Structure 1
Amino acid sequence: MQTDVHSHTAFSDGSTLAAMIDAAETAGLDALGLTDHCIVTDDAFGRRETFDLVETYEQRRAVVDAAREDTSLTLYDAAEVSYVASEADAIREFLSTADFAYTIGSVHFADQYDYTAAAQYADADNETRRTAVERYYDAVVELVDAELFDVLGHLDLPERLPTLRGFSTTADYERVAAALADSRTVPEINAGRVNRSLNQVHPDPELFGCFHDHGVEFVLGTDSHTPDELTTRVPALEAAADRSAVAVVDVDSVLS
């Protein structure tokens, strides 16, 4: 089984990477993708200041290369990149320079909407919440159509927020499935809330049917930030894959 690991911690001394590798080996994986968050341009929500892979990817690459000497795992030097439509040219240029093994593209914010925190929508009425969610899926379709990334991350990120949960519609998923059917981009089944608020993978497995109807395949991602998360989420991903109505493929099949 292959999966990706999102880490907020730089691998400058190799200790964090070594712990993730140990966890992946314990979980029975044969490959591990290191997909630190990467934000190419400044944003209104301050995330660019928090995640510095755009400046440090070469140093991290050296650490990953060194770690290959001590493990039988296949290690992928990869990245999860925030997609912003107005910055598509800058993103494309950076990805061409950085030459990651593969990239995950995710919509974390669009226009005035931040989809990583619930507070913005706490006092919003239902119409405003639905407008925010609709804008999210507009941006996801734009991401897929841009053909910048190998993998679509967080297919339905608003569903992870209690203030936006339930405002996604079947039509939203149908739009995304139709876009993916005509794209090289492969979505991920993400386990980032298995042991947190949702207690399940996302997208909601009950909605896999529309992707199956469009012939869309998925890859698996733990969205782990710690070794403990990796070892607890891998079994949940395996179970979701076994139950799903969609085809699950290895990362190798979507490499650039």
Structure 2
Amino acid sequence: MRADCHAHTTYSDGAEMGAMLDAADRAGLDAVGLTDHCIVVDDDFGRRERYDLVETYEERREEIHRYRDRIDVDVLDAAEVSYVADAEAETRRFLDSADFAYTIGSVHFAGEYDYTSGSQYAAASDEERRAAVERYYDAVVSAVDAGLFDVLGHLDLPERVPQLRGHSARRDYERVAAALAESDTLPEINAGRLHDSLGRVHPDPAMIECFRAEGVPFVVGSDSHAPAELRERVPALRAFLDDADVSVVDVDAVVSG
């Protein structure tokens, strides 16, 4: 089983990376992908200022090499890349140069909308919230069609935002499923909100049903940002997969080298 985690490594000693990889080893994983956030271009919401993997991925790669011989888990040098519709060319150039083992593409913001916080929607009407959600799924389909990424992450991110929850429609899910069915990109079952108010993995079960109807398989990710999250989420993901009627592909299907 593979589980993604965001190590946010401190390159001075690699201590944070080491703690994450030790947790992966103890969880009995076959492989772990280090998928720190990577934002290629500046954005209106300040995320590019907070995540610097574009500049530091080579330093992180050196740390990964130092740790690979210390544990039995296959450590993959990967990234979670924010999809920006008008920056596809820049994103492709960077990814071609960085040559990660695999990439997860995620929509965190689109146009004037930020989907990582609910504050923007606190005073919004239902119509305005629906417009924001529809714009999100437009961007997700565009991310699939762009063919930039191996994996599509955070498939129904608005459902994780209380102010936007319930504004996704089945037709949104069906659009994403249809796009994935025609693509080599694989969707991710993600445990990033397993222990908060949602209390489950995502995407939403109704979205999983649409993907299953299209014959679309999944990969699995923990979205862990700390060792404790990895330790909690891996058993929960295993329990989910034991009960769920989903097709999960092996890590080799997404690793490019």
Name the TM-score, length of structure 1 as normaliser.
Answer: 0.97
Gaps of 5+ in 2: none
Instruction: Report the CA distance between 1:25 and its aligned residue.
Output: 1.4
Superposed CA RMSD in Å reads 1.0
Q: Which residue is 1:147 aligned to?
A: 147
Per-residue CA shift, 1:111-154, capped at 9, x if unaligned?
00000001000000000000000000000000000000000000
Q: State how far apart, in whole Å, the 2-side matches of 1:253 and 1:21 are.
A: 22
- Amino acid aligned to 1:229: E
Q: Which residue is 2:230 aligned to?
A: 230
Instruction: State the SS of the aligned residue for 2:199.
Output: coil
> Superposed, which structure 2 residues align to 1:173-252 within 5 Å?
173-252=173-252
> May I ask how many residue pairs the two structures share in their alignment?
256
Q: State how far apart, in whole Å, the 2-side matches of 1:17 and 1:125 are.
A: 43
Q: Which residue is 2:73 aligned to?
A: 73
Q: Is residue 144–residue 152 contact of structure 1 (8 Å, CA) maintained in 2?
A: yes
Q: Which residue is 1:60 aligned to?
A: 60
Q: Is residue 79–residue 100 contact of structure 2 (8 Å, CA) maintained in 1?
A: yes
Instruction: Report the CA distance between 1:21 and its aligned residue.
Output: 1.2
> Structure 1 residues 223, 209: CA separation in 2 closer, same or farther (over 3 Å shift)?
same
Q: State how far apart, in whole Å, the 1-side matches of 2:204 and 2:239 are.
A: 13
Q: Is residue 7–residue 37 contact of structure 1 (8 Å, CA) maintained in 2?
A: no
- Amino acid aligned to 2:146: A
Q: State how far apart, in whole Å, the 1-side matches of 2:69 and 2:43 are.
A: 38
Instruction: State the SS of the aligned residue for 1:105.
Output: strand
Q: Which residue is 1:166 aligned to?
A: 166
> Structure 1 residues 19, 174: CA separation in 2 closer, same or farther (over 3 Å shift)?
same
Percent identity among equivalent residues? 64
Q: Is residue 2–residue 30 contact of structure 1 (8 Å, CA) maintained in 2?
A: yes
Q: State how far apart, in whole Å, the 2-side matches of 1:147 and 1:174 are.
A: 19
Instruction: Report the CA distance between 1:236 and its aligned residue.
Output: 1.5
> Structure 1 residues 12, 107: CA separation in 2 closer, same or farther (over 3 Å shift)?
farther
Instruction: Report the CA distance between 1:6 and its aligned residue.
Output: 2.1
Instruction: Report the CA distance between 1:205 and its aligned residue.
Output: 2.5
Q: State how far apart, in whole Å, the 1-side matches of 2:81 and 2:13 are.
A: 23
Gaps of 5+ in 1: none
